[in-house]
Amino acid sequence: MELQSIKNRFGIIGNSPGLNHALNVAVQVASTDLSVLITGESGVGKEVFSQIIHALSSRKHNSFIAVNCGAIPEGTIDSELFGHEKGSFTGAVDSRKGYFETVNGGTIFLDEVGELPLGTQARLLRVLETGEYIRVGSSKVQKTDVRVIAATNRELLESTQIHKFREDLYYRLNTVPIKVPALRDRKEDVILLFRKFVNDFSDKYKAVPVQLDEGAKDVLINYPWPGNVRELKNIAEQISVLSHDKVIDAATMKRFLPEHNYSRLPVLASGGSGSVSQSEFANERDILYKLFFDMKKDVNELKKMFFDLLQNPSIAQHAPVYNDPAFAEVHSNVPSIGTSKPVFLPHNGEAIDHHEDVEESLSIMDKEKELIVKALKKHKGKRKDAALDLGISERTLYRKLKEYDIEE
């Protein structure tokens, strides 16, 4: 099937290379039963691609359902997808079929799949690998034949690194990836889309369609469109309804575009020009994910360094930072893995002729007694306050006082 006929059939406007490539991949994979992961920012039209895949597949005469995973509460998502038995939870007055049962033989589109809880992700992985699922509150294994198409505006691979998304599920869904480009990467399509929208709204509101002068076109093309096609459609509707002039100039166009959306992060000067490409601000959430992941990795490396030092204090003589007097002073009270404290070498690297091991009690009872004494001192002997601070009942505290023979 020709690409242009597919665009006409599904109302897709545009000729950018990125859009055409995504459509070609969707057409090629449609005849298979492979899982597809559609990625792209919110508002780029990911659901249309799922409809294209289903309509061109052998399942086209069977059911198609789109599920917004982010819109279903975590407590009911398993029931929605896999069904439940009567009495399996409060409010389950009857048995209910889930989507994987009702759409058997068809296609299910899981939009914002990155919002699924980890427990639901495990259930979904089982369906993808074996075609099996279990209703909530049941022990009976059921079979289903459903093609899964998933979509997300997140970087799922990075979510796997911070344990927000299962890595095995990611690779199972990502059998065939389709990247839908953002509108700011399809600048040649912006005017075509705008013209289509204003013509649609002129028919809807029985009005003369607005026209754009060259200045207004430049403003539209250079706007970053953080809301993508959805935002462009909203702007076209606003102008069609609210504008008194039927020829829009640059100044009028700017009044309809929210200025705060030009940059959602602080602007840094670049090369003296004072401006930065808007595409640099498109994925600030992804940048934060990377930052947190790097911080976690640094902390893990620091913990490993201390662990190695505590196990073998002698390595300090080979590491200049450990021989620093300030480092030794700050960390001289760090307890070792054993029962003695580590000994740090002096800065001049001279051998130590003698050191004294300080025995440290590791008895749980001794530590418990010590905490009770500290709590009583902190609260000036008030048992109720001390028990609350310790996280135990006042009766338990009284019993511990007798057991450890603690004088108040």
Reported as a single tens digit per residue, the pLDDT across 202-217 is 999 988 999 999 999 9
Q: What is the CATH number of the domain that holds 386?
A: 1.10.10
Q: Does pTM top 0.85 for this prediction?
A: no
The reply to whether 283 falls in a domain is no
Are 232 and 207 in the same domain?
yes
User: Pick from 156, 181, 206: which residue ends a domain?
Assistant: 181
Instruction: Please answer whether residues 230 and 195 qualify as being in contact, where contact means their C-beta atoms are separated by less than 8 angstroms.
Output: no
CA–CA gap between residue 222 and residue 330 (Å, rounded) = 55
Angle (CA) 269 271 272, round 5°: 65
Domain boundary among the residues 153, 181, 209 is at 181
- Domain extent for 196: 184-262
340 is a domain residue: no
Residue 36 forms beta bridges with which residues?
A: 149, 176
**Nearest-angstrom CA–CA distance, 244 and 382:** 76
Is 146 in the same domain as 201? no
DSSP calls for 44-100: S-HHHHHHHHHHTSTTTTS-EEEEEGGGS-TTTHHHHHH-B-TTSSTT--S-B--HH
Q: What is the mean pLDDT of the chain?
A: 81
Asked which of 247, 262, 277 is the last residue of a domain, the reply is 262
Whether pLDDT at 323 is above 70: no
Q: Is residue 107 part of a domain?
A: yes
- Half-sphere CA count of 106, side-chain side, radius 13 A: 18
User: CATH number, domain at 216?
Assistant: 1.10.8.60
CATH number at residue 97: 3.40.50.300
**CA-based nearest residue to 23, from 35, 38, 43, 34:** 38
Do 188 and 78 sit in the same domain of this protein?
no
Same-domain pairing of 85 and 203: no
Based on the structure, what is the number of domains in the chain? 3
Q: Which long-range contacts (CB under 8 A, 24 or more apart) does 4-8 make?
A: 6/52
Query: For 159-175, how does the pLDDT look when each residue is reduced to its tens digit (9 = 90+)?
Result: 999 999 999 999 999 99
pLDDT at residue number 336: 42
Residues 255 and 371 in one domain: no
For residue 380, is it left (φ>0), alpha (ψ between -120 and 50) or beta?
Answer: left
Between the CA atoms of 213, 232, 44 and 70, what dihedral angle is there, to the nearest 10 degrees? 170
